[in-house]
Amino acid sequence: MNPESQIDDYLRSLPAWQSRLATRIRALVHEADPNITEAWKWGTPVFADGGNVVAIGAFADHIKVNFFKGATLRDPAGLFNAGLEAKATRAIDLAEGDQLDEAAFGALVAEAVAANRT
């Protein structure tokens, strides 16, 4: 099975609110970088361009969006709210009903892609 199909199946298997949110995040990642590729690694969707950029994972009460080089990124909107002590990564945890600043998220994805190219 190709990664896109695995990700489709994964997203469909989630509770409705998580499926909607993770599907929207997937779309935002592609909007921020039309050249990004999808992979299925470590049992989760991973998006890459010049290296791993971001992964989406579902947990019992939240969706985690993990930026592989998050510690090197500027986050002027303050989206990062998890994994702040990690050496390299940073994450955004979103619970049911949370709102994501989509413009700031897209900028963060674009910055993460640019970081892979330096």
Q: Which domain, by its residues, includes 107?
A: 3-116
Q: Radius of gyration over alpha carbons of the chain, in Å?
A: 13
Is the distance from CB of 15 to CB of 26 less than 8 angstroms? no
Q: What is the pTM of this model?
A: 0.95
Spatial separation of the C-alpha atoms in residues 80 and 54, rounded to whole Å: 13
92: three-class secondary structure by DSSP: strand
Written as tens digits, the pLDDT of the chain (118 aa) is 899 999 999 999 999 999 999 999 999 999 999 999 999 999 999 999 999 999 999 999 999 999 999 999 999 999 999 999 999 999 999 999 999 999 999 999 999 999 998 7
How many whole angstroms from its chain centre is CA 84?
16
**CATH code of residue 70:** 3.90.1150.200
Tally of structural domains, the chain = 1
How many whole angstroms from its chain centre is CA 91?
8
Give the model's pLDDT for residue 118: 78
